[in-house]
Structure 1
């Protein structure tokens, strides 16, 4: 059996249920059921996922930069369980809001070290 996900999932934009951009599908994680049949377990997004996918010097650089934004090494890709996918069309559309997804290491670092330090940032309307 041959799975062809390259044109169906990889590099598609991921949007939450409200249409907000989450990121893009940088890689796909598989698992196997009890009978050994593979299935898509999670969508991987972020610099680490992209770096691991493309490999080589550029891939290692992407992962190294992402490592600078995490406290617990090694940095890991952001995993979005495939069960959260509502549908796949021109984008991967999720059934949950962005706030219910794990933040990327870069976004979490920026929030902690920059955004939260801006006076009034905690009172910003959304």
Structure 2
């Protein structure tokens, strides 16, 4: 698959096979094949990946916030192997369900330290 990273991949929504939002493509990770050519091996999603890509003060702030609100430092980015990508169009469509992917670390921290402490947060509405 041949694509232009800046135009067709970065900042695209990532959706699972059921159409559920997983995140956005915040950065990519390259690898080198046997012949010495680089290729996109992983899509990275999360504040830490975005902060490193942006750089400068704003980037450092994103990384600091992600690290602060994470159980593990540095806050790990969601790394999606390109083998999970089924299609790239207006979104990056995965071959798998979001349930099988690790949850974003900031979301885990917020749920554990904030949302779960709200009375009634464990009950489904309806």
Question: TM over 0.5: same fold?
Answer: yes
Q: Which residue of 1 aligns with 2:50?
A: 50
For residue 119 of structure 1, report the CA deviation from its aligned partner.
Answer: 5.9
2-side partners of 1:95 and 1:123: how far apart? 31
| Alignment pair present for 1:61 and 2:36 | no
1-side partners of 2:123 and 2:97: how far apart? 20
RMSD of equivalent CA atoms:
1.9
Between stretches 107-116 and 51-60, larger displacement belongs to 107-116
| Alignment pair present for 1:13 and 2:24 | no
Q: Which residue of 2 aligns with 1:96?
A: 96
Give the TM-score of the pair, scaled to structure 1.
0.86
Q: Secondary structure at the match of 2:19?
A: coil
Cα separation, partners in 2 of 1:95 and 1:124, compared to 1, 3 Å: farther
- Judge conservation of contact 2:13–2:21 (CA < 8 Å) in 1: yes
2-side partners of 1:15 and 1:90: how far apart? 10
1-side partners of 2:62 and 2:121: how far apart? 29
2-side partners of 1:94 and 1:15: how far apart? 6
Between stretches 112-121 and 82-91, larger displacement belongs to 112-121
Residue segments in structure 1 that go unaligned for 5+ positions in a row: none
The size of the alignment, in residue pairs, is 123
For residue 111 of structure 1, report the CA deviation from its aligned partner.
Answer: 2.5
